Structure 1
Amino acid sequence: MTSDGPLGRRDRKKRQTRAALSAAALRLVAERGLDQVTVEEISEAADVSSRTFFNYFAAKDEALVGDSEGDRERVLRALADVPAQVPALRAIRLALTEVIEDVEGEAELWLLRMRVVMQHPVLLARLVSGNAATEQALVAAVAARTGLPPEDTYPALVTAVTGAALRIAMVRWAHSGGARPLPDLVDEAFAAVAAGLPDPRHPEPHQR
């Protein structure tokens, strides 16, 4: 079935409804604050019922941070497609490409989202790392790539460090008002990690 068929139209309608709910939630929270906005008010602003809201999101916070589960699945699929010989850090950066491009493609919405989450730090970690299920899935994927057990330090550390690098790049992008390309900021953060975070006062690592 093509994208112009009934399924394609239905999927587009679902994406439009999800986007409308997210935009309404972000707009209202930006105006009033996190605790001053209800699901009912978000639904009314998006011209849907509260029941429809819960068809898309389990809670208000999910509407604010976006589709972390969908992003997780896309990243995991992309990571599985990166050749096994590519180092784990580089592989994760490549796996994030599509998600990062989507963020830039919806810059207005995402800049508003970043403003909201920076005003409410409880949302920031969830925005980037999703939840415990996301972290565990990425740890397992890195462990499988490297041949290490999931309880080894390396898979967990790579997952944590890349999540921090992405979060910092997105915060910098938001602070610039989107003036700097997000992929460049992500590359900069990942390059610093790959270099071992050398002290900028001593760019050449000291040998013992």
Structure 2
Amino acid sequence: MSTERERRSPRRGPKGTRTREALGEAALRLVLEHGTAGVSVEDVTDAVGVSRRTFSRYFASKEEAVLDGIRADCVRINEALAARPARETPLTAYRAALRVWLADPAVPAWHRRAGVREVFRLAEDEAPLRAVLRRLLLEGEAASVRLVATRIGADSVRDLRPAVAVGSGAAALMAATRAWVADGDPEALPGLVEEAFALLAAEPP
């Protein structure tokens, strides 16, 4: 008999990635059209043509599926952070990683992807969606802290430098994101991120 871990383990490789992406895209589209309460997991699986069991390999809830693009963005930011030169200070490296992510022509960041601003707005009003969004962002931030700790040879818990650097950078990103969500210009996010980091440079933590 398969274990719960085996049942929940997503398939690896291109096919598994495509299935996960298709489920996430369908969930986002349906929720933006009908609201979270108006969409069931079955609606999402029917739209993609897979079973509920397949959905459960990737996601524990429809909210996780809706926000899977945000989770993937956190992964991409951390991949860019891991690739930064060792000579860069932690906050400089984090800022540079965000620039790489925002400018990536292959995978559009939030300001160049349909539905992202809308889902941030929806999360402001819907507690379950907001809770999952917060968890995913915190998980991404925790991974960034571990990366920075490795970069500088520090303990990610006992040494405060990684958490302070990443926390400052993540706060700048989210402050810029909140302003972008409220702004009328969908292309404003990169400029707002630069403005937020300039404020940090002028008055560092």
- TM-score where L is the length of structure 2: 0.72
Alignment gaps of 5+ in structure 2: 1-12
Matches within 5 A, 1:12-91: 17-67=19-69, 70-91=72-93
Find runs of 4+ consecutive structure 1 residues off by over 6 angstroms: none
- What is the rounded CA distance, in whole Å, between the counterparts of 1:155 and 1:38 in structure 2? 40
Matches within 5 A, 1:1-208: 11=14, 17-67=19-69, 70-101=72-103, 102-104=108-110, 106-120=112-126, 123-124=129-130, 126-127=132-133, 130=136, 133-150=139-156, 151-196=158-203
Task: Verify the 8 A CA contact 1:89 1:162 in the aligned structure 2.
Answer: yes
Task: Verify the 8 A CA contact 1:22 1:64 in the aligned structure 2.
Answer: yes
Task: Verify the 8 A CA contact 2:111 2:189 in the aligned structure 1.
Answer: no
1:149 aligned counterpart, secondary structure: coil
Range 41-50 or range 65-74, more displaced: 65-74
1:85 aligned counterpart, secondary structure: coil
The Cα shift of 1:176 comes to 2.1
Greater gyration radius? 1
Identity over aligned pairs, percent: 38
- TM-score where L is the length of structure 1: 0.71
Alignment gaps of 5+ in structure 1: 1-9, 199-208
Task: Verify the 8 A CA contact 2:64 2:132 in the aligned structure 1.
Answer: no
The Cα shift of 1:190 comes to 1.6
- What is the rounded CA distance, in whole Å, between the counterparts of 2:66 and 2:174 in structure 1? 16
- What is the rounded CA distance, in whole Å, between the counterparts of 1:153 and 1:164 in structure 2? 16
Task: Verify the 8 A CA contact 2:111 2:188 in the aligned structure 1.
Answer: no
> 1:6-56 CA deviation, whole Å, 9 max, x = no partner?
xxxx83x65554444333323433455434532112222344332332243
Counterparts in 2 of 1:17 and 1:174: CA distance versus 1, 3 Å: farther
How many residue pairs align between the two structures? 188
- What is the rounded CA distance, in whole Å, between the counterparts of 1:129 and 1:163 in structure 2? 14
Q: Aligned-pair RMSD on alpha carbons?
A: 3.1
> 1:137-160 CA deviation, whole Å, 9 max, x = no partner?
221222233343322222112222
